Amino acid sequence: MSLDTAPGCRDAPVLKERGQHEVFCGLTSIIWLHRKMQDAFFLVVGSRTCAHLLQSAAGVMIFAEPRFGTAILEETDLAGMADAHDELDREVAKLLARRPDIRQLFLVGSCPSEVIKLDLARAAERLTKVHAPHVRVLNYSGSGIETTFTQGEDTCLAAMVPVLPEADPADLVVVGALPDVVEDQLLGLIRDLGIENVRALPARRADEDFGIGPATRFILAQPFLGETASALARRGAEHLPAPFPFGERGTTAWLRVLADEFGVSPERFDEVTAAPRARAQKAVAKARETLADRSIFFFPDSQLEIPLARFLTTECGMEAMEVGTPYLHRGLVGPDLDLLEAGQISEGQDVDRQLDRCRAAQPDLTVCGLGLANPLEREGLTTKWAIELVFTPVHGYEQAGDLAELFARPLRRREVLAL
């Protein structure tokens, strides 16, 4: 793969839109963060809508008691600020008494708490003093007026960076909440390359925190972590830009950036990656039979769209008609943009206009959120709900085939049904 000769769309014009967004807000990222950080509790300070959203986004409601909840603001809280802080302290005390296993508590800002300017940073400081050393209290915003969907993870991780210790810094930090199985695979490959002192942010438990400093280099595993990258840079750590580890080529390119940076020999690199690369190629080739020469249209959802479109066009032979993203961070997805050819890149959303474009384009496959999928199916379009791309293990070599299969399955289903 040559980066120089790739056509690329780093400088292609971007259609910027603002109108109705059919995208989750940042609160939704709690759904996977609470599974990832097993001693953390996420307390949204918000309205009944926030509580209802979390429940609906957890969707099928396959739950026991979750590690998240909502402190629902009521009339009396809106009347005076002092009240709201007292009430919050009381609810937090109640919660921590009920759940002594909780070591990290995140106060999550929502649209209403931000509009009434409830100072959650101050509340977090105060509550940390009350509940230290057993519980660490942090705050971040997941509000829909500030963040979309996966950006909630970004603001959460960014809030964790300042409390990481200075001492014994890690050589390399892989940033982004990945399913444990994927995290283990990627960190395993990195260690096999000979990079020993590697850690993942977020750590699975609070007591697994590691140091960070000017000697630290970091690589992102998710493309939506702009604020976290800035926070790490402020701590002196160095960002290693790379294509994201989707598919065989993406994963190889991602690992190669690390190999180059840490002086891994080409022989060692081939030795470590040859077998999983071959497996990934084989797995993707199978789905490629279904996907090749088909067209795809992305509605904006998770900020994974650019790297995914890169994977589907370069490795699966698809044609990207429009690639929508809620926010385009060129600094982070630049390496993927260099490899991508797309009819149109769009940022933000005006959903009705975008639906008009999609209907006119008649793509073979449309990637969209849950609110749009069934209505588009009804109109005869084949859809892939974007949510699975966030909730399913899709990174790295061993998942390359699964990732391609997620896109192939709706197309195959359409062919199978005689209705």
Q: How far is the C-alpha of 319 from the C-alpha of 111, rounded, in Å?
A: 38
Give the DSSP letter string of 342-381. Answer: EEEEEEEE-HHHHHHHHHHH--SEEEE-HHHHHHHHHTT-
Residue 315: how many other CB atoms lie within 10 Å: 23
Stretch that binds other proteins, among 23-31, 166-174, 187-195, 288-296 (CB under 8 A): 23-31
Stretch that binds other proteins, among 48-56, 238-246, 337-345, 359-367 (CB under 8 A): 48-56
Is 390 a binder of other proteins (CB under 8 A)? no
**Residue pair 126/164 in contact by the 8 Å Cβ criterion:** no
Q: C-beta of 229: minimal distance to other proteins in Å? A: 21
Six-digit token string for 301: 């959802």
The answer to the question of whether 111 is labelled as a binding residue is yes
The binding track of 144-183 with respect to other proteins, each residue x by CB under 8 A or -, is xxx-x-----------------------------------
Is 33 a binder of other proteins (CB under 8 A)? no
Q: C-beta of 407: minimal distance to other proteins in Å? A: 20
247-269 burial, b at 16+ Cβ within 10 Å, e below that, comes to bbbbbbbbbbbbbeebebeeeeb
Stretch that binds other proteins, among 195-203, 204-212, 265-273, 366-374 (CB under 8 A): 366-374
285 versus 370: smaller Cβ distance to other proteins: 370
**Residue pair 411/291 in contact by the 8 Å Cβ criterion:** yes
User: 330-337 vs 305-314: helix axis angle to the nearest 10?
Assistant: 10
| Of residues 214, 245, 244, the one with CA closest to residue 232 | 214
| Of residues 150, 177, 179, the one with CA closest to residue 23 | 150
The answer to the question of whether 368 is labelled as a binding residue is no
Judged by CB under 8 A, how many residues of this single chain contact other proteins? 66
Q: How far is CA 406 from the centre of its chain?
A: 17
Q: C-beta of 233: minimal distance to other proteins in Å? A: 24
Binding residues for other proteins restricted to 90-119, rule: CB under 8 A = 90-91, 94-95, 111-112, 114-116
Q: C-beta of 375: minimal distance to other proteins in Å? A: 5
Q: What are phi and psi of 90, to 5 degrees?
A: -65, -45
- The residue within the footprint of other proteins, chosen from 9, 31, 71, 177 (CB under 8 A), is 71
144 versus 226: smaller Cβ distance to other proteins: 144
| Of residues 353, 356, 351, the one with CA closest to residue 20 | 351
What's the farthest any 2 CA atoms get from each other in the chain? 67
Is 31 a binder of other proteins (CB under 8 A)? no
Is 303 a binder of other proteins (CB under 8 A)? no
79 versus 292: smaller Cβ distance to other proteins: 79
115 versus 163: smaller Cβ distance to other proteins: 115
| Of residues 418, 419, 392, 387, the one with CA closest to residue 405 | 392
β-pair type (217-220, 172-175): parallel
Stretch that binds other proteins, among 86-94, 231-239, 245-253, 394-402 (CB under 8 A): 86-94
**Residue pair 54/149 in contact by the 8 Å Cβ criterion:** no
- The residue within the footprint of other proteins, chosen from 37, 73, 170, 404 (CB under 8 A), is 73
- The residue within the footprint of other proteins, chosen from 247, 276, 369, 410 (CB under 8 A), is 369
The answer to the question of whether 25 is labelled as a binding residue is yes
CA pseudo-torsion sign 351, 56, 312, 246: positive
The binding track of 346-365 with respect to other proteins, each residue x by CB under 8 A or -, is ------x-------------
87 versus 341: smaller Cβ distance to other proteins: 87
Q: How far is the C-alpha of 33 from the C-alpha of 235, rounded, in Å?
A: 23
CA pseudo-torsion sign 303, 308, 309, 310: positive
As a whole number of Å, the CA-based R_g of the chain is: 22
Is 74 a binder of other proteins (CB under 8 A)? yes
**DSSP structure class, residue 299:** P
Is 66 a binder of other proteins (CB under 8 A)? yes
Q: Residue written as tokens 């982004």? A: 176
Is 378 a binder of other proteins (CB under 8 A)? yes
- The residue within the footprint of other proteins, chosen from 1, 20, 188, 286 (CB under 8 A), is 20
Is 391 a binder of other proteins (CB under 8 A)? no
Residues of the binding site for [4Fe-4S] cluster: 25, 50, 111
Tell me which residues touch other proteins (CB under 8 A). Answer: 18-28, 43, 45, 47-49, 51-53, 55-57, 59-61, 63-66, 68-75, 77-78, 84, 87-88, 90-91, 94-95, 111-112, 114-116, 143-146, 148, 352, 369-375, 377-378
